[in-house]
């Protein structure tokens, strides 16, 4: 081989090594992003589940009003107060 061909072969080997390193870094970055997205999806599913809670409280409240169960209404009032207090506390800690 002449000197120019040897030089090209060395340069090609360097570029292939550099590409392999970049692919490994990219794979690591994609893996980290997938972990972050998985945590985000888990958080979103939790939020979607919490959306059901106010509807459930409203349904129980309506049942309490319709049955005129004063004790149930008092308990729901206390539960509502506790839920609101916890939400405000959580927001103040953020």
* The pLDDT of residue 87: 85
Q: Which two tokens stand for residue 36?
A: 């972050």
Domain ranges of the chain: 1-50, 52-94
Q: What is the pLDDT of residue 7?
A: 93
Q: How many CA atoms lie within 13 A of 38 on its CB side?
A: 6
* Residue ranges with strand state E in 38-84: none
Is residue 64 within 8 Å of residue 77, measured between CB atoms? no
pLDDT digits (tens, 9 = 90+) for 36-83: 788 778 877 776 766 667 777 777 777 766 666 566 667 777 888 888
**pLDDT range class, residue 1, cuts 50, 70, 90:** low
């Amino acid at each position: 081989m002449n000197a120019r061909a040897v030089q090209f072969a060395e340069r090609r080997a360097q570029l292939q090594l550099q590409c392999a390193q970049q692919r490994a870094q990219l794979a690591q970055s994609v893996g980290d992003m997938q972990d972050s997205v998985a945590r985000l999806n888990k958080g979103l599913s939790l939020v979607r589940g919490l959306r059901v809670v106010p509807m459930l409280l409203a349904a129980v409240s309506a049942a309490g009003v319709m049955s005129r169960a004063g004790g149930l209404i008092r308990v729901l009032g206390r539960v509502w107060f506790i839920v609101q207090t916890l939400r405000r506390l959580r927001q103040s800690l953020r």
